[in-house]
């Protein structure tokens, strides 16, 4: 039950990321066409794209790691015998876990600090600054869970299955 809910959360993040990127492509295209037709421009489009691209990256990363479709250079692991490659992959997963924990802690501190100070982003769109930091600890926590799952469950794709 928990495994199914976990996979659903990962899948939902990937779907939201895809929808964000699709909407962004349509908005930017519409803005370019409107500008070329002399209809003016939407000043907030650039800001939306600046915020959407990293957000989509954060949202899709745990899903990609779960499916072993993330970017990785495994030339050394592939060249080694399986008996030597598996421990090396576990070390890489442990390093990934440690990095994720740092980002979870740092992200949570950045959110708390920004919220405490009442910092605002004031551009074409105005909103609390901590909103920018909110995905960081959540997505890195999911990545940390995924690294632990990989370390305990036998590596890539361990426990990955179809969604309900």
Element (H, E) at 91: helix 82-117
**Contact in structure between 64 and 70 (CB atoms under 8 Å):** yes
3-state helix, strand, coil in the chain (%, to 5): 75, 5, 25
Burial of 42 (0-12, 13-18, 19+ CB in 10 A): middle
DSSP category for residue 156: T
Q: Given a cut of 90, is residue 82 above it in pLDDT?
A: no
Sign of CA dihedral 66, 68, 69, 73: positive
- Spell out the domain ranges in the chain: 2-153
Q: Which tens digit of pLDDT belongs to each residue from 85-96?
A: 888 889 989 999
pTM given for the model: 0.85
**Would you state the pLDDT for residue 155?**
54
**Would you state the pLDDT for residue 154?**
58
If you count DSSP H runs as helices and E runs as strands, how many of each does the chain have, helices first? Answer: 6, 2
Sign of CA dihedral 93, 163, 14, 138: negative
């Amino acid at each position: 039950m928990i495994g199914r809910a976990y996979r659903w959360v990962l899948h939902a993040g990937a779907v939201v990321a895809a929808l964000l990127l699709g909407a962004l492509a349509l908005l930017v295209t519409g803005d370019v066409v409107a500008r070329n037709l002399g209809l003016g421009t939407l000043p907030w489009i650039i800001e939306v794209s600046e915020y959407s691209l990293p957000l989509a990256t954060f949202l899709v990363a745990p899903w990609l790691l779960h499916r072993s479709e993330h970017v990785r250079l495994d030339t050394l692991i592939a060249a080694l015998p399986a008996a030597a490659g598996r421990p090396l992959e576990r070390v890489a997963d442990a390093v990934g876990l440690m990095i994720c924990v740092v980002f979870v802690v740092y992200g949570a501190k950045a959110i708390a600090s920004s919220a405490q100070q009442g910092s605002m982003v004031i551009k074409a769109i105005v909103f609390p600054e901590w909103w920018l930091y909110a995905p960081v600890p959540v997505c890195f926590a999911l990545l940390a869970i995924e690294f632990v799952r990989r370390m305990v469950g036998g590596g890539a794709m361990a426990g990955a299955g179809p969604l309900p």
